[in-house]
Every structure is written in structure tokens, then in C-alpha cells.
Structure 1
Amino acid sequence: MAKPQKHSKPQRSSKHPVKHGRDNLKPRTKSSNKGKKPNHKAPPELPPPPAVAPAPELLTTASQQLEFFIQQYQSANGIQLSSLELESFTNACIVKLSESLPQDVSNLSEHMKASFGSSWKEALCKKQLSGKNTEPGSPTLLTISLSALRSLELFRSLKPFTKECPAAKLFAKHLKIEDQVSCLKNHVNVACGTPSRIKKLIDMEALGLSRLSVVVLDMHTDVKGYSLFSIPQIRDEFWELYTTHFHQRLLSGSLRICLYGTIDANNFKRTKGRSDANE
């Protein structure tokens, strides 16, 4: 009896070999780099260290400060004073402050004591002046600042003068002008404010000038680099106030200007140089 034949497994064609393991995976397609330049850029160079700014040369003398004030006055108003007009300005127009005491907020009251001399208590502290009929709402000392916040800082620094006779806050932020008018119906020695509100109260005849002896111009520069003379709107408001109500009093000698704070003489010289070149 014949044995059944075994069927042999068909042999695979050698044309299509079987791949195992990783060899059986599809090859990854590479992204085309056609048209792209090879990235061989060098790392960016660090900028050179900033040049060390020269230490500010402060305007310390009365003549320097007066020259600075006149230069600002001419620049803001687009005028050039004649030699005869310039003679009307003297060093006596400027309050000379002590160089041994820093001109910061905490020292303002001490500087003002020195500027008023032996009469500082009567001028800055007394609620009523003996034997004198004074106009209500007419301060002896007026500080003018860039902003309400800065005015408030100066207001607080003058507390040694305001225990007996309160000072007046003459700025718009959070304060109604009607309340300020009511405050100025009383005797006032010290007032702190901003140019716009001060001028408005003077024009309303609420703020008097009959006793005004010193106007402190706050030269403080804020964190953004702005000052009383650098923001066009605030600067213009101040010079309008000055020309309308302070200029003639300054020239007559009944009023003095105090430039309080740091004034960079280097910046002043550059500004002055440009001004001289345009003459």
C-alpha cells in the first residue's frame, strides 16, 4: 500500500525577503531642506557695557540757579530777554539753600526755617499774626510740584509748621475746589499744590498773594524722568501762572524763588548750548 505523499510548504521567493524586528518598520521620512540655508549663525554679540555717566555737577550758587531759571523762562515762552530786562533779575531773586543739608523731602522744613531766618515761627507757624490784619487764605510759603502725589509728599514734610495753623492742599486729585475755597477763608501760612489748581484759585480770588514771600519750585524728577519743567502741559501751566501772578513780584523784590532739589548742570549746559547756537 502506498504511503500518502506529504505536501511540502511552498518556498518564498527570494525576491521579497521577510524582514524582522526594526527592519520591518517603515523608514522615517526626512523633512525636505530644499531651499533652506544651513543654520550656522554665530551667537549674537552682547552689547557693550553702557558708558559710565559723569557725576552730576549741581547748580549750587544763586547765580547758576538764576541763570537756569531765566533760561527755562525764555525757552518755555519762546522769547529772548534784552540786556536791560536781564538786569532786573538779581541773585536776590533766588533762595540760597544750605549745601551741607541734602535737598530731599525730609529736609524741606529745615531749609525753609533757614530761608525765613529768625522770623520763621511767626511767618510759618502762628495762627494769627500779632498786630497785623492779614488777608485770609494768603500763605507765606507756597510749594509747586509736578503732581498731586508729589505735592502731598511735600505737604507732609512741612508738618512742623502746621500744628497750630493747618496748611492748604491746592491740587485737584480727590479734592473739590469748593472745599479748597472754604479752607482758604481762614488764615493760612503754608500751601502746597500744582500749577493749574493754584492759578484757578488765584483767579477766583480765593487764594491771596499779599503775604507770599517764598515760592518753592520742586525740581524732583519722578521714576519716569519727568519734572516740573519737562512735561509740556505742566510746564506751560506753570509759566502761565508765573507770568500772570509772580513775575512782577519777583522783579520788585517782594517774592523769592527756591529751586528745591537736584538740577543736573551737565544737562543744563547742553540745553543752554543749543539755545545759544540758535540766537
Structure 2
Amino acid sequence: MASTVNKSVWRGKFQPPSVKKESKKDSKKESKIPKKRKRAGVSKRGGKNRSGGSKSKKPKKPIDKSGDALEENGSGSDSGQPEAVAAPAAAPRAPPTAAAKEKIAKLKSRKRQLSTAQFEEAKSLAENIAQRSSKEQADWLWESYQRSTPASELERDSAGLTSSCVVNLPNGASIGSLEQGLKTLEPNWRQELCSIGHRSPGKLSALIISPAALGCTSVIQACPDLNRECRIAKLFAKHFKVHEQVEVLKSQPAAVGAGTPNRLTKLVEEEALKLEKIRYIVLDVRLDAKKRTILDMPEVTGDWWTLWDKCGLKKRVAEGKAKLVLFGDNM
């Protein structure tokens, strides 16, 4: 019977024992061989892909119903819109010729000369601005005001910085002649400037403004008669607290004050200093160790124009009720 087994049956479940044993051995050999697995992000040579992971497949372009591939914006190539054409590359610029280089060098040299000349002119003007005419002083003040505020030329009259608002001291514009100059401007100065008997506390008739406390002290020393007759109030920060000066101004009448812009603004905000009766605003434009005036010091210029704008000085001068006076160093 075994010899008569049909070979076609061997192909199914019933195979000869010899064939089954060989197949088991072959399957065991195949199972022992480990299958190579590709690690994510690692190429065959052991290096990582540029993307850091497995290679991503390119996204397929969407296909419309007609079978045509759509463009990235969703429209087909046959949408009727013309395709964008790249602009031609700009031609390389030719290097400047020797004549052009010489012309540029001359222009730069001329510009430097003008800048140097303008700087020297501005420096010379600032050094003796107190001895200049009222118009030159007003122009100098107006230029500084425009640099600090967004004021236009139409606002100059309302800013109180015209030539009619500035007065020159008749006996010279130096600190040595300041007291005599103020007396000349106000012949009846004892009555007009120093009559503190009927004056309310905190209301001044003259205000001397200096960029630093040392300047205020030197002004007080240079005006002994005014200090004796009018009692010049010390309105600067050196050795004096704001609350102490507020108490003094509210309790003791003063006719003249000498102070720095920042401290004067604080006293006005505290309502201890009242400037609605001011008649003379005396600005110290002496040079400091760096050859700068009060309008050349960034840390002081802003405070000065804030005092001018927000504390009533500009309004008094623009209305003709007060005058602006400049004084400088001894000549």
C-alpha cells in the first residue's frame, strides 16, 4: 500500500516522513538567522538622516476629478492664470572711476569742514551769549527749545522766546555786574522787588536759575544788597530737603529765589512756590568745566524747559508780564 501512495497526496498533509524532517530542519535554520531591522533615523552606514528621523515620503499632489494634478494653491495648471516669471538678475554695478572717487572725497572733506565751522561758531556763540544782542539770545534759546520739544515756528510767540521777551543787562551781563544790572532795570527795586511786607508766602518777584547748587551759592554771594533787602531764598538741593523748603516758603515771605530747575519744579508741584507774580527770570549761562552752558547739559536742559513750560514762566513772558535776563562769566 505504501508504494502505491499517490504523489499528489504528498503535496498536501500526507507527506513522506523524510520530507517532513527536512522541512523542520530548514525551518529551524531560518528561525536562527536574525532579521535585520532598520532603526529610525539611521542610514545603512550608521549615520542619521538629515531630517533626524526616518525618511518621510513626499506628499502626493492632489488630483482633481479629471485626473490632472493640482498646483500647491489648489488650482490646476490649466486655470488660465499666467505663471509668475522670475525677474532677471540685476547687472553688477561698475566700480567707481578715479574721477568719481575724487569727487566723493572732496564732498566728504567739504562736509567735515562745514561741520567743524558750524561747531566752532556754535561754541563761540555759547561762550559769550550773555554779551550778544537780544535777538541772538532769543534765537539761541529758541533753537534749544525746538531740540527739546516738538514746537514749530508758528508757536514761537506763544513760547515767549522772541527778541522782545529778552532784556540785556545795561551794565554788562556778567555775574559781577548782575546786582547793579537788576537795580538799573528796576529803578524802584526796593519797592518792586523787595517789598515783602505785603507779599504772600511763596510768591517771588525775581527768580535766578542756575544749573547747579554751587552756581546758586555764587549768585547769592554776588548780590549782597538783594540778599540783605529781599532775602534771597535758597531753592536748590544741596543740604536742603524738599519738605524743609516747603515749610520755609509757606511760613516766611521771600521776594527773590535762587535755585536749580529740578528743585524749583518740585516746589511748584508742592504748591509751595508760586510764580504768578514773577517779573524777572534770570538765567545763568556761565560755562562749566567742560565748556558747557545750561542748555548744553542734557541732564539739566530738560528740567529747565519743563520748568519753563509747565510752571507758568512761559505764559508770564509771552503775555509781557515778565522778562528773561541772561548773565555769564566775568569778562
Contact 2:209 2:260 in 1 (8 A): yes
- TM-score, with normalisation over the residues of structure 1? 0.66
**Inter-partner Cα distance in structure 1 for 2:218 and 2:153:** 35
Aligned counterpart, 2:192: 123
**Inter-partner Cα distance in structure 1 for 2:254 and 2:225:** 14
Bigger CA radius of gyration: 2
Q: Do structure 1's residue 136 and structure 2's residue 201 form an aligned pair?
A: yes
Q: Do structure 1's residue 169 and structure 2's residue 234 form an aligned pair?
A: yes
How do residues 1-279 of structure 1 correspond to structure 2 at under 5 angstroms? 56=124, 58-59=128-129, 60-82=132-154, 85-88=155-158, 89=160, 90-98=162-170, 101-116=171-186, 118-129=187-198, 134-185=199-250, 186-245=252-311, 246-261=313-328
Contact 1:168 1:180 in 2 (8 A): no
Q: Secondary structure at the match of 1:229?
A: helix
What amino acid sits opposite 1:178 in the alignment? H
What amino acid sits opposite 2:297 in the alignment? I
1:56 CA drift (Å): 4.6
- TM-score, with normalisation over the residues of structure 2? 0.56
What amino acid sits opposite 1:119 in the alignment? N
Q: Secondary structure at the match of 2:234?
A: strand
Contact 2:232 2:257 in 1 (8 A): yes
- The number of residues matched between the two structures is 201
**Inter-partner Cα distance in structure 2 for 1:64 and 1:227:** 16
Q: What are structure 2's unaligned runs of at least 5 residues?
A: 1-119
Q: What are structure 1's unaligned runs of at least 5 residues?
A: 1-52, 263-279
Give CA deviations for 1:71-110 in whole Å, capped at 9, x if unaligned.
111112243322xx33445433112222xx3432221101
**Inter-partner Cα distance in structure 2 for 1:86 and 1:124:** 29
**Inter-partner Cα distance in structure 1 for 2:140 and 2:322:** 18
Contact 2:175 2:327 in 1 (8 A): no
Contact 2:216 2:259 in 1 (8 A): yes
Contact 1:127 1:164 in 2 (8 A): no
Contact 1:219 1:227 in 2 (8 A): yes
What amino acid sits opposite 1:81 in the alignment? E
Higher relative contact order, chain-length normalized (CA < 8 Å, sep 6+): 1
1:143 CA drift (Å): 0.7
Give CA deviations for 1:177-208 in whole Å, capped at 9, x if unaligned.
22211221222111000000000000100011
Percent identical pairs in the alignment equals: 29
Contact 1:62 1:95 in 2 (8 A): yes
**Inter-partner Cα distance in structure 2 for 1:235 and 1:86:** 18
Contact 1:144 1:195 in 2 (8 A): yes
Contact 1:66 1:91 in 2 (8 A): yes
Higher helix fraction (1 or 2):
2
What amino acid sits opposite 1:251 in the alignment? A
**Inter-partner Cα distance in structure 1 for 2:314 and 2:134:** 18
Aligned counterpart, 1:44: none
